[in-house]
Structure 1
Amino acid sequence: MSAPFATYIYRAWGQRPPFYILIPSVVIAFAMVVPLFYLGLRAFQADPAMLRELVFRPRNLELLSNTLKLTLGVLLVTTLMALPTAWLVTRTDIRYKKAITLLSVVPLAVPGYVMAYALLGLGGHYGIFAQLFDWQLPRVSGYSGAVFALAFYTFPYLFLNLRAALLGLDRSLEESAQSLGYSPTQIFFKVLLPHLAPALMAGWLVIGLYVMGDFGAVALMRYDAFSYAIFTQYSGAFDRVYAAWLSLMLLALAGSFVLMETLVKRKRLASVGSGIARSKAASKLGWKVIPAWVYLAIVFLCSSGLPLMILAYWLILAPPDLSFFLAVPATFLRSAMAAFPAAILAAGFALPVAYLLVRYPSRISTAIERSTYIGYALPPLTLALAMVFFSLNTAFFLYQTLALLIITWALASLALAMGPIRSALLQTRSNLEEASFSLGHGPITTFWQVVFPRLNRGILAAITLVFLFCMKELPITFLLAPTGYTTLAVTVFSRTSEGLMAEAAPFAAAIVIFSSLSVGMVLNRESKK
C-alpha cells in the first residue's frame, strides 16, 4: 500500500476497525452492489444494432408513459385522501382523533394485491353487487383499478408524514401571515404548503417507489406498466436482454424520484429567530363537521371497509371446507420456513455494518451503511431479475432454489433490519466495552457477554420487521421461488388471476390478519415514544 493511499485510508477511518468487523461489512456492501453489476452485464450483452433497437423501441415510450401516469394518478389520489385527513386530526376540534389515526394506518395491513382482489370482487357477474342486489357493476380493471388498488393501500405512508409535519409546525407562522391580512386560502398556499413540501416529497417518494416496483396489483388489473412488462418478457417471451433493459429503465425512473426528493430537502425551512415553537390551536369545525365525517367515512370505507367486506362476503358465501383449514396453515408454515431464515440472515448482515457505523464512524463506514439501502430502493422485480442473472452466470447451483429466494429477501430487507439494531447500539455505552477490556477480556468475549445482551431487543425487532416483510412479499417470490413452491402471497395472486375469488379468500384473510401485527407494532412503538 502506497504511503499517500494509506494516509487517506487512516484519515477516512479515524480509528481503524478490527478485521472481524471490517471484512464482513465490506463483503455485505459488495453483495449489495453485485445485482446492479450483473443487471448491467446482462443488458450490454446485446450487439450495437440490437442495443439501438431495444433502447429506442416505441413500446418503451408507451411503458414509460403508462408507468408515469400510474404513479402520478396514485400520488394524486393518496394526496386527496391523506392531506385532509391529517389536517382534520391535527388542526381541528373533530372528536375521536386517536380512532381516526388508527383507521388511517390500518390499510397498511392490506397489501396492494389483496386490495386489487377486493376491487375485482365488486363487479362482474359473480361480484358482490350482482349476487346481493342483482346489479352488475362493470369490473374495475386497467388503469383506474391499478390506481385505486395502490392508492387505498399506500395513502397511510403520506398521512403519517403529513401528520408529523403538521404537529411540528410553529403556530406563529400562520398568526404572522394572518396579521398581515392574508386569507385562509393564501395562508395555506403561501405558508403551510411550502413547509409541508418536505413531508409531501418524503411520502410521495415512498409511494412512488412502491408503485413503480409493484407487480401484484398491476398484473391483476392487467395494466401494462414497466413491472408487468418485465415479468412478461422474462417468463413469457424469454427475452431476458430486453427484460434487463426494461429493469434498467425502471431503475433510472426510480432514481429520478430519489434525486428530486433530495433537491427539495436542501431547502431550509426552519425558523432562524429566537423563541419557542407553539402548536396551532384547534379550529372549530361547526357545521362543517358533518361533511368532514362523510369524507372520513368514504376514505375508511374504501381503504379498510372494502377489503374486509369482500373477504367476509366470499368467506360466508363459500365457507372453506376442511381441506382449506389444512391448506392455509400449511401454506403459512411454508412461507414462514423461508421468511424466518431470511429474517435471521438480514439481522446477521445488519449487525456488523451497524457496529462499524456506530463504533467506528467515518466516511467509509457511512458509505458501507448507505449501500445497505440499495436492495430496498431497487424495484423488487429488478432486484429479482438481477439475482437470476447472477445465479445463471456465477452461481448456477443457486438457480431455482429456496436459498436464492432467502438471500434475495435478506438483501431487499436489509435496510429494515439496520434501523432497530443501530438504535440499540447507539443506546449501548462504549465505556462498558472499555471496562471489559480493562478487566482482560478479549474483543470477542466482550461482544458476546457485554454488547450482544443489550442488543437483544433491537435484533428481535429487526427479525420481526423482516419476517413480516417476507411473509407479504410477492414480486421477488413470484420470480425466484422454486417450481411448485407457493407462499400465501403467491397463492392469493395465482387464484385471483384465475378468477377463483372464493378459493383465494381464506389465504387473503390470513395475510390481512398476519399483517395486522406489523400495524400493531408501528402503533405500539409510536405510543411508547
Structure 2
Amino acid sequence: MGNRIWLKIWNAKPPRTVLFIINAIIALIMASPILYIVIRAASAPLEKWKVLFATRIPLILWDTLSLAGAVAAFTTVIGVSLAYLVECTDLSCRKFLKVALTLPLAIPPYIGALTYIIIFGKRGVLFSLLGSSVIDIYSFWAVTFVMSMFTFPYVFLIVSAALRKISANYEEAGRSCGASYSSIFRHITLPLIMPAVISGNIIVFFYIISDFGAVAMLRYTTFTSSVYFQMIGKLDRSGAAILSILTIGLGLIVLLIKNQIQKNRAFFINPKSNRPPKAIKLEKYKILCMIFAVVVMFFSIILPLSTLILWSIKGILAGAVTVKMAGYIMNSLYVSIGAAAITMLFSVPIAYFKFRHPSKITTLMNNMCHLGLIIPGTLLALGMVFVVNRYFNWLVGSQLILIFGLALRYFSRSLQSAEASMSLISPIIDETAYSLGKRFGSVLFRVILPSILPGVLSGGALVLVSSMKELPVTLMLRPAGFDTLAVRIWVQASDGFYTQAAPSGLLIVIVSLLPLYFLTKKEKGG
C-alpha cells in the first residue's frame, strides 16, 4: 500500500533514494534559517510582542511602506516613460539609451547613497562650497529620490521587453478608429503592458523593503535596518526575530496581491502577428523628451560615477590604497568564490530532480531553495546566527558561516540558471544512456553535467559578483577582523572617511558591470 502511494506521488517514476535524500538535505539547509526565525519568533514571550507593537512596529511599518510605495510609484513613472520613449518613438540615440539606462544597476544602492552623501551631506562638497546644505539628504523625499535613481532600471527593462512584444495591429486598429496617440497609450498600450508594470513595481517594492545598506547610510528606518540594529545594537534576538517575521509576512502579502492583480489582468499576444509598430514622431516634443532622458542619466549614472571616480583619485593620492586593500580584495574573492562553488554544486541535483521527477514534493523542495530570492539579507543572516549558535556552535567565528550565508542568499540565482539549461535537456537522452547500460552516476556526470555546465557556470559567476557586493550578510556573519570591500565601504562611510571608501566602491562598480555587459550582449544577440 505504501509503495503504491509512493509510486503515485512520483507518477510511477520515483527518484533514487540517494538523490531524494541529497535534495531533501539541500532544501532543508536552504530553508533552515528562515524556519528557525519563525520558530524563534513564535516562542518569544507575549510581553515582547506587546511591547514592540505598542512602541516600534507601527512607526517602522509606516516608514517602510511609505518609502517602498513612494519609490515604487516614482520608478514606475520614470521606467515606463523611458521605456516608451526608447521602444515606441523616434527619440534620438535610442540604441545608446537602451544600454545606458541599465547602467545604474551596476551601482549598488549603498554605493550610490555614498556618492550622494559626499555631494549633499553636511560634510559634503556643496556644504563646503556654500557653507550650508542645499537639501537635507536624510529627508524622506531625498531618500526616495536616491533609491529611485538606482532601482528604476528594473521597471525600464521589464516594460521595454513587454513593449517589444506588442504587435502594430493594436495601434493600427486604434488609429483606424480615430484615436490619438495619447488615447491609444491609455486604452490599449498601458493595459497590455500592465502585467509587466506590476512585475517591475513589485521587484522595486521588494528591493526597498529588503535593502539595508542604502537606507542605513541615509539614516532611514525600515524593518530590515531595525532587525540589524535590534540584533547588533541591542543584542535582542527575540525582538529581531519578531521584526523579521513581520517583514516576511509583509513580503508575502505583497506577493499575494501582485499575483491576484496579474491574474485579473491576463493578456495573451499571438506571436505570429507580432509586427513592431512604427516609431511615433515626437516632433516638437523630441528635445523635451531628450532632456528628460539626459536628466535621469545625469542623476543616476553621470553624477554618482563621476563623484566616485574623482573621490577615488583623491583617495589614491591621499594614500587610501595600501597593502591592506589587497587583503580586502582577497577576502572578498575568497568568500565569493566559496559561495559560488557551493551554489554550483548544489544546483545540479536540484535542477535535475525538478525536471526528471516532478511532483508536489519536488515543487515544495524547489520553493524552499528559492527562499533566498525573497528574504532580505539581514533576516537570512539572523536565521544563520540562530541556527549556528544552537546546533553548530563550533563554527562560530569561522569564515565558513559567511560563505554558507552568501551561498544561501544567492542560491536561487545559481539554481535559476541551472534550471534554464536543464529544461532544454530531453529525458530521452537519459533513457538512451540507460538502455546502453550506463549507471545513474555515469549518466549524471558524463551526459547531463557537460550539457548544463555553461548554465551552471553562468549562475556561479552571477553568485560571485553578487556576493562581492553583499553588505548585510557579510556584516552580520563575518569573523571579527575579517573585512571585505563592502565592509570597508560601510565602516569608512559610517566614520565619514569618504575618500577612503570611494576606491573600494569604484572597484565593486567595475566588477558589477560584468553581468550587465553580458546581459546587453545577450539582448543584442537575441
TM class, shorter-length: over 0.9
Q: Cα 1:275–1:410, aligned 2, differ >3 Å: closer, same or farther?
A: closer
- Counterpart amino acid of residue 507 in structure 1: S
1:92 to 67, 89, 106: 89
Question: Does the 8 A contact of 2:315 with 2:503 survive in 1?
Answer: no
Question: Does the 8 A contact of 1:128 with 1:310 survive in 2?
Answer: no
Which stretch of the first structure deviates more once superposed, 13-22 or 67-76? 13-22
1:112-511 map, 5 Å: 112-124=109-121, 126-130=123-127, 137-267=134-264, 269-271=266-268, 276-320=273-317, 324-511=321-508
Give 1:441 shift.
2.4
Question: Does the 8 A contact of 2:348 with 2:449 survive in 1?
Answer: no
Which stretch of the first structure deviates more once superposed, 140-149 or 505-514? 140-149
Give the alignment's TM-score, normalised by structure 1: 0.94
- Counterpart amino acid of residue 380 in structure 1: G
Give 1:329 shift.
2.9
Question: Does the 8 A contact of 1:120 with 1:139 survive in 2?
Answer: no
Question: Does the 8 A contact of 2:406 with 2:467 survive in 1?
Answer: yes
- Counterpart amino acid of residue 29 in structure 1: A
RMSD: 2.1
Which stretch of the first structure deviates more once superposed, 365-374 or 217-226? 365-374
Which stretch of the first structure deviates more once superposed, 426-435 or 265-274? 265-274
Structure 1 match to 2:35: 37
Structure 1 match to 2:56: 59
Rounded Cα–Cα distance in structure 1 between residues aligned with 2:438 and 2:269:
50
Rounded Cα–Cα distance in structure 2 between residues aligned with 1:313 and 1:520:
23
Question: Does the 8 A contact of 1:39 with 1:386 survive in 2?
Answer: yes
Question: Does the 8 A contact of 2:149 with 2:299 survive in 1?
Answer: yes
Is 1:523 the counterpart of 2:520? The answer is yes
Identical positions, percent: 29
Rounded Cα–Cα distance in structure 2 between residues aligned with 1:275 and 1:121:
52
Give 1:215 shift.
0.7
Structure 2 match to 1:83: 80
Give 1:216 shift.
0.5
Which stretch of the first structure deviates more once superposed, 296-305 or 137-146? 137-146
Rounded Cα–Cα distance in structure 2 between residues aligned with 1:448 and 1:36:
32
Q: Cα 1:309–1:272, aligned 2, differ >3 Å: closer, same or farther?
A: closer
Give the alignment's TM-score, normalised by structure 2: 0.94
Q: Cα 1:395–1:145, aligned 2, differ >3 Å: closer, same or farther?
A: farther
Question: Does the 8 A contact of 2:339 with 2:404 survive in 1?
Answer: yes
- Counterpart amino acid of residue 33 in structure 1: A
Rounded Cα–Cα distance in structure 1 between residues aligned with 2:64 and 2:287:
37
Structure 2 runs not aligned, ≥5 long: none
Secondary structure (helix, strand or coil) at the match of 1:427 reads: coil
Question: Does the 8 A contact of 2:315 with 2:321 survive in 1?
Answer: no
Give 1:494 shift.
1.4
Secondary structure (helix, strand or coil) at the match of 1:237 reads: coil
Q: How many residue pairs get matched?
A: 525
Rounded Cα–Cα distance in structure 2 between residues aligned with 1:71 and 1:311:
26
